Structure 1
Amino acid sequence: MKILSPIVAVVVLFLVFSCNSKSEKKEEELQKTTVKVVPELKITIDSVEISKFYEAYPKLAKFQKGALALYKKKNSTQLWLDNKGIVEFGHTLFNKYKGLEQEGLKANFPYNEKINPLFENTSENKLSKVDTDLMITNLYIYYALKVSGVDEKTTRSLEWLLPRKKVNYQVFSDSIYKKATISDDKKSKMFSQYYKLRDALHQYREIEKKGGWKTIEVGEDFKNFKIGDSVAAIGQIRERLYISGDLKENNKSNVCDSVLIGTMKNFEVHHGFTPKSIILKEHIDELNVPVSERIKTIIANMERCRWIDPELEKGKEYIEVNIPEFKLYLIRDHEIALTSAVVVGKAMTKTVIFSGMMNNIVFSPYWNVPTSIINKEIKPGMAKNKNYLAQRNLEWNNGAVRQLPGKNNSLGLVKFLFPNSNNIYLHDTPSKSLFGSESRAFSHGCVRVQKPRELAIELLKQDPKWTPERIDKAMHAGKENWVSLKKKIPVYIGYFTAWVDRKGELNFYKDIYQRDESLVKLLTEE
Structure 2
Amino acid sequence: MKTKLVTLIFIFFLVANSYEIKASNLEFKTISLTYQRIPSFQEIPFDSTLIAPFFSKYPKLKYLKPEVIKLYRKHNYQYLWFDHKGLNEFAKLLYDKINNLDQEGLQIDVPYNDKMRSLFQNSNNIKKPNLDTELLLSSLYFFYADRVFKGLDVAKTTELDWFLPRKKQSYVNRLDSLLQDPSLINQQEKGLLGQYYLLKNALKNYRDIEKKGGWSPIVFPKNIKSLKLKDTANVILQIRKRLFITGDLNSDSGKKLFDDELLAGVLKYKKRNTFKTDSILLPKHLKDMNIPVNERIKTIMANMERCRWIPPSLTQKKQYITVNIPSFTLTYFIDSKPELVSKVVVGKTMNKTAVFNGDLNQIIFSPYWNVPPSILRKEILPAIAKNSNYLAKNDMEWVENRVRQRPGPQNSLGLVKFVFPNSHTIYMHDTPAKNLFNEDRRAFSHGCIRVARARDLAIAILKNDKNWTLEKIDSAMIGGVEKTYNLKTKIPVYIGYFTAWVDRDGTVNFYEDIYGHDIRLSEMLLSD
Q: TM-score, normalised by structure 2?
A: 0.89
Q: What's the counterpart of residue 9 of structure 1? A: none
1:489-504 matches, cutoff 5 A = 489-504=491-506
Q: In 1, Cα distance between the equivalents of 2:170 and 2:304? A: 20
Count of aligned pairs between the two proteins: 493
Q: Residues 84-134 of structure 1, C-alpha deviation per residue, up to 9 Å, x if partnerless?
A: 321111111111111211111135222212222121218999x99111111
Work out whether 1:351 is the aligned partner of 2:353: yes
Q: What's the counterpart of residue 136 of structure 2? A: 135
Work out whether 1:116 is the aligned partner of 2:121: no
Q: Answer whether contact 1:344 1:447 (CA < 8 A) is retained.
A: yes
Q: In 2, Cα distance between the equivalents of 1:167 and 1:117? A: 32
Amino acid aligned to 1:93: L
Q: Answer whether contact 2:188 2:194 (CA < 8 A) is retained.
A: no
Q: What's the counterpart of residue 4 of structure 1? A: none
Q: What's the counterpart of residue 490 of structure 2? A: 488
Structure 2 SS opposite 1:181: helix
1:88-99 matches, cutoff 5 A = 88-99=89-100
Q: What's the counterpart of residue 103 of structure 1? A: 104
Structure 2, unaligned runs of 5 or more: 1-32
Structure 1, unaligned runs of 5 or more: 1-32
Identify if the C-alpha distance between structure 1 residues 489 and 123 changes in structure 2 by more than 3 Å, giving closer, same or farther.
Answer: closer
Q: In 2, Cα distance between the equivalents of 1:336 and 1:83? A: 52
CA RMSD of aligned residues (A): 2.2
2:403 paired residue among 401, 404, 408: 401
Structure 1 SS opposite 2:238: helix
2:468 paired residue among 456, 460, 466: 466
1:243 paired residue among 242, 245, 254: 245
Q: What's the counterpart of residue 415 of structure 1? A: 417
Q: What's the counterpart of residue 184 of structure 1? A: 186
Post-superposition offset of 1:47: 4.3
Post-superposition offset of 1:333: 1.4
Q: In 1, Cα distance between the equivalents of 2:226 and 2:405? A: 45
Q: In 2, Cα distance between the equivalents of 1:176 and 1:469? A: 56
Q: Residues 297-338 of structure 1, C-alpha deviation per residue, up to 9 Å, x if partnerless?
A: 111111111111110101111111111111111111111111
Work out whether 1:331 is the aligned partner of 2:333: yes
Q: What's the counterpart of residue 343 of structure 2? A: 341
Post-superposition offset of 1:38: 5.3
Structure 1 SS opposite 2:191: coil
1:110-259 matches, cutoff 5 A = 110-121=111-122, 129-148=130-149, 149-259=151-261
Q: Answer whether contact 1:270 1:506 (CA < 8 A) is retained.
A: yes
Q: What's the counterpart of residue 88 of structure 2? A: 87
Q: Residues 263-298 of structure 1, C-alpha deviation per residue, up to 9 Å, x if partnerless?
A: 101111111100222221111112111111111111
1:268-347 matches, cutoff 5 A = 268-347=270-349
Q: Residues 458-485 of structure 1, C-alpha deviation per residue, up to 9 Å, x if partnerless?
A: 1111112211100111011111100011
- 96-105 or 137-146: bigger deviation: 96-105
Work out whether 1:380 is the aligned partner of 2:389: no
Work out whether 1:65 is the aligned partner of 2:66: yes
Q: TM-score, normalised by structure 1?
A: 0.89
Structure 1 SS opposite 2:388: coil
Post-superposition offset of 1:36: 8.7
Q: What's the counterpart of residue 478 of structure 1? A: 480
Q: Residues 231-281 of structure 1, C-alpha deviation per residue, up to 9 Å, x if partnerless?
A: 321111111111111111111112221211221011111111002222211
Post-superposition offset of 1:496: 0.7
Structure 1 SS opposite 2:338: strand
Q: What's the counterpart of residue 19 of structure 1? A: none
Q: In 1, Cα distance between the equivalents of 2:59 and 2:452? A: 55
Amino acid aligned to 2:461: L
Post-superposition offset of 1:39: 4.2
Q: Residues 12-45 of structure 1, C-alpha deviation per residue, up to 9 Å, x if partnerless?
A: xxxxxxxxxxxxxxxxxxxxx9x99654115544
Instruction: State the percentage of identical aligned residues.
Output: 48
- 266-275 or 167-176: bigger deviation: 167-176
Post-superposition offset of 1:360: 0.3
Q: Answer whether contact 1:222 1:281 (CA < 8 A) is retained.
A: no
Q: What's the counterpart of residue 21 of structure 1? A: none
Amino acid aligned to 1:192: G
Q: In 2, Cα distance between the equivalents of 1:80 and 1:188? A: 22
Amino acid aligned to 1:146: R
Q: In 2, Cα distance between the equivalents of 1:445 and 1:79? A: 51
Q: Answer whether contact 2:398 2:404 (CA < 8 A) is retained.
A: yes
Amino acid aligned to 1:452: A
Q: In 2, Cα distance between the equivalents of 1:395 and 1:58? A: 65
Post-superposition offset of 1:182: 4.5
Q: What's the counterpart of residue 27 of structure 2? A: none
Structure 1 SS opposite 2:185: coil
